[in-house]
């Protein structure tokens, strides 16, 4: 593989030189799905000059696409590996358990395991953190958003007792979360109808207000919604009102939302998402416009992601690429 990487690095340098962009590949990182090349450019070379050649770089590497961005004083060029690897959730959780036993790492309460970041380090999402509270998962069909939601639910259930965690799963498609039916952490059976979902969310608003009045925030209550845009369109104003109240006031009451959507358009969920979901987990989307709405940032390159668990994690204006951990339905049911 080393020979292939050196060849690709030479191709990138030759391609840039042919367009009068002086740059050298000084190193790189190999992840389960991606190869990232570190470029050093002299003073005066703009990142945009390299980014404008992303299609030409992809063509020279024989790749479907490349993502070009700036990171810590370098220009990064990311492309897919010829044979990517899946990141299984259960071995990743066992790795975290071993590291925790050694005193180096533990999974805090109400923390979901997401996958591996750009450096191959396990990436966790601590929902009670003031900078998190709620998370949006966005991506087109087949991008892995529902699979990531399943991973988050499974990891939360694995690392938290029923006493500390209650789950509400809303699955309008009736396919994504049904493997969790019977999970002891479920506050109610998996919800599959929009009218039922509205009723459950309104009851959660009442529970949130009761906890506020009593100054309580335990046990943690995590609501995972698949197909947010469909819920909003069918449920109408009442659905938007319930979701908005939960996202605006839920964290202090120990209530957190994780919502999935394949339609991150401003017309459908823009006003709801803009200020109420501090963390965005974004996979491949249809256009740069959808990428901007989903991530809250311009020019992230989310429309160039590979799908199948290839995500950008956007938090506090920082963007991290990750490969989501995976747990199939059979493992969930077992």
Could you report the per-residue pLDDT of 248-303, keeping only the tens digit for each? 999 999 999 999 988 776 666 666 666 788 999 999 888 888 888 888 888 888 88
Output the pLDDT for position 147: 93
Output the pLDDT for position 271: 65
Could you report the per-residue pLDDT of 112-133, keeping only the tens digit for each? 999 998 788 899 999 999 899 9
Q: Which residue has the higher pLDDT, 189 or 101?
A: 189
Output the pLDDT for position 302: 87
Output the pLDDT for position 124: 95
Task: Judge whether residue 238 has pLDDT over 90.
Answer: yes
Task: Judge whether residue 75 has pLDDT over 80.
Answer: yes
Output the pLDDT for position 328: 78
Residue 1: pLDDT band with limits 50, 70, 90: low
Rounded to an integer, the average pLDDT of 305-330 is: 88
Q: Which of 331, 332, 326, 329 is nearest to 32 (CA)?
A: 326
Output the pLDDT for position 130: 87
Could you report the per-residue pLDDT of 39-71, keeping only the tens digit for each? 998 888 888 899 899 999 999 998 888 889 887
- The enclosing H or E element of 201 equals helix 194-214
Output the pLDDT for position 107: 86
pTM of the model: 0.85
CB under 8 A, 24+ apart: contacts of 191-195 = 194/230, 194/231, 194/234, 194/235, 194/239
Mean pLDDT of the chain: 88
Residue with tokens 């009736």: 174
CA 305 to CA 79: how far, in whole Å?
9
Rounded to an integer, the average pLDDT of 236-246 is: 91
Tokens representing 288?
Answer: 């740069």
Share of the chain above pLDDT 70, in %: 93
Output the pLDDT for position 329: 67
Residue 65, φ and ψ in degrees, nearest 5: -165, 165
């Amino acid at each position: 593989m080393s020979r292939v990487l050196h060849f690709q690095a030479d191709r990138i340098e030759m391609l840039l030189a042919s367009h009068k962009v002086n740059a050298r590949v000084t190193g790189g990182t190999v992840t389960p799905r991606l190869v990232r090349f570190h470029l050093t450019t002299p003073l005066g070379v703009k990142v945009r000059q390299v980014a404008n050649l992303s299609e030409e770089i992809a063509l020279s590497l024989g790749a479907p696409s490349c993502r070009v961005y700036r990171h810590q004083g370098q220009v990064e060029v990311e492309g897919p590996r010829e044979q990517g690897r899946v990141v299984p959730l259960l071995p990743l959780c066992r790795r975290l358990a071993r590291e925790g036993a050694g005193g180096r790492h533990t999974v805090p309460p109400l923390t979901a395991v997401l996958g591996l970041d750009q450096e191959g380090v396990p990436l966790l999402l601590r929902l009670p953190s003031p900078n998190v509270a709620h998370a949006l998962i966005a991506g087109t069909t087949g991008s892995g958003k529902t699979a990531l939601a399943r991973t988050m639910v499974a990891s939360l259930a694995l690392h938290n007792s029923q006493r500390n965690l209650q789950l509400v799963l809303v699955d309008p498609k009736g396919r994504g979360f049904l493997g969790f039916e019977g999970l002891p952490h479920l506050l109610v059976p998996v919800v599959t109808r929009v009218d039922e979902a509205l009723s459950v969310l309104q009851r959660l608003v009442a529970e949130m207000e009761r906890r506020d009045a009593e100054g309580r925030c335990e046990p943690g209550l995590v609501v995972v919604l698949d197909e947010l845009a469909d819920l909003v369109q069918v449920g109408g104003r009442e659905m938007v009102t319930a979701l908005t109240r939960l996202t605006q006031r839920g964290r202090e009451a120990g209530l957190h939302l994780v919502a999935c959507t394949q339609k991150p358009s401003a017309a459908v969920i823009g006003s709801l998402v803009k200020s109420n979901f501090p963390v965005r987990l974004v996979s491949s989307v249809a256009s740069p416009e959808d990428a901007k709405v989903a991530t809250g940032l311009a020019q992230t390159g989310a429309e160039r992601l590979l799908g199948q668990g290839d995500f950008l994690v956007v938090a506090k204006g920082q963007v991290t690429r990750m490969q989501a951990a995976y747990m199939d339905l059979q493992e969930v049911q077992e």
